[in-house]
A and B are shown apart, each in its own frame.
Chain A
Amino acid sequence: MEPLILALGWVGLYAPLALGAVGSMIGCARAGSAACGALLEVESGYGRYIGVAAMPSSQTIYGIVVTMALRRELTLENSPGIFGLGLLAGLALLFSASAQGSACAASINVSKNKLEIFGISLAPAALVEGFAVFAFVFALVLAAGIPK
């Protein structure tokens, strides 16, 4: 039983980074695909679309920080907490990055024909980012309460 608990601790430790990275891959691929399509249609402002496509990469950075905050010597006392916190934070980052990719793709798709809505069309993606920040910040707050 003890090795299993410690193994779960390791899973929780690396989950925010790994799941956040998976989410960023999905999100950036979605938004990037839309950006590539839009490049065929627009005459200028290519960097704007590629920049938007990179938005879901922030979840990986949050994952790195949470993993670093959880990093400590794993014991039977702290492994369950690290597992729960790390896994749930990782899932939140994964889904938010994936959803943000879809929101960015939609933004790119509509704004290529109507540049004046470019800013406002990014609002849904920004909202999704906000939820990712909530998950990130509270993961850091709660990580402080896990025994060293």
Chain B
Amino acid sequence: MAEPYITLVSSLPYLPPFEQADRSPITRLRLEQRLHNLDTDDARQLAKAEALVGWRMSLAKPKTDADMVLRSRAAMQDISQSALREFIEFRIDQQVILAGLRQRNAGADASVLEPVSGASRWVRHIAAHWGDPNFKLAAVYPWIAQARTYLDGNDACALDSLLMHVIWQRLGHIAESNRFGFEAVFAFVFKWDILQAWLARDAVRAKFRFQDLIKEIKDDS
């Protein structure tokens, strides 16, 4: 197995489970410095993936579902690393399932998924099983039932935590598949992103952010 990033991986600190962390073990600046050891092409692919499926997307968030589909298709054409592609697909699947659950809770029917029909392999499946509580995907994604419970209870914090946990676990498996390869590096970066998002949780700031988003939507319309 290729181990091109032994030095880079060894220079990265241990990331504690995000729920137990009280501070980030590495700053973004220092992480960027370490990531300079990445091959140019790998660095480019990682940046694209971060902008697309990072917990806190670094680029402006897409305004519409169709915009998101276009953006993901464009990015996927540039991403050749199979493990990274699989992770992106996993994240997009997760987002599509969550969007389906939210839309159904809001009373929408399956036709609402049409704009994202090309985004995930599960869109047709979800539309076909719109009436099933878990879209008949519980065997593939066991977290759906729990996510549905949190959505029904309007518990956004618990839902966030659950999704972060699912992604964290997935990234752990990816990193284990090649401990000194690109897999370990990008798994670290996405985990670090989740950790930052977890540590940045702040009710007061969230309120201001929510008000900003409302203002942004009003300005657009």
Contact = CB atoms under 8 A, between A and B. Distances in A.
25 contacts: A30-B3, A33-B6, A33-B7, A33-B10, A34-B7, A34-B9, A34-B10, A34-B180, A36-B7, A36-B10, A36-B11, A37-B7, A37-B8, A37-B9, A37-B11, A41-B11, A102-B3, A105-B3, A105-B6, A105-B180, A106-B179, A109-B180, A112-B10, A113-B13, A113-B14
Nearest to B26: A41
A114 B13 CA distance: 11
Nearest to B1: A102
A34 B6 CA distance: 5
Top 10 A-B pairs ranked by shortest CB distance?
Answer: A37-B10, A113-B14, A37-B11, A33-B6, A37-B7, A34-B10, A40-B11, A33-B7, A38-B10, A109-B10
A105 B10 contact: yes
A114 B14 contact: yes
B34 interface: yes
A108 interface: yes
B12 interface: yes
A55 interface: no
Interface in A19-52: 30, 33-38, 40-41
Chain A: interface secondary structure? helix
Given A105-B180, A106-B179, A109-B179, A41 B10 contact: yes
Band of interface residues on A: 10 to 19
Contacts of A41: 10-13
Interface residues of B, number: 13
Interface of B: 3, 6-14, 34, 179-180
Contact of A30 (B6, B12, B14): B6
A76 B8 CA distance: 52
Contact of B6 (A37, A40, A113): A37
Given A40-B34, A114-B14, A109 B9 contact: yes
Given A34-B180, A37-B12, A41-B13, 13 more contacts: A33-B7, A33-B10, A34-B6, A34-B10, A36-B7, A37-B8, A40-B11, A40-B34, A105-B6, A109-B10, A109-B179, A109-B180, A113-B14
A38 B11 contact: yes
Interface in A92-148: 102, 105-106, 108-109, 112-114
Contacts of A109: 9-10, 179-180
Contacts of B8: 37
A36 B6 CA distance: 9
Contacts of B14: 113-114
A49 B86 CA distance: 35
A40 to B, nearest CB: 4
Contacts of A30: 3, 6
A41 B13 CA distance: 7
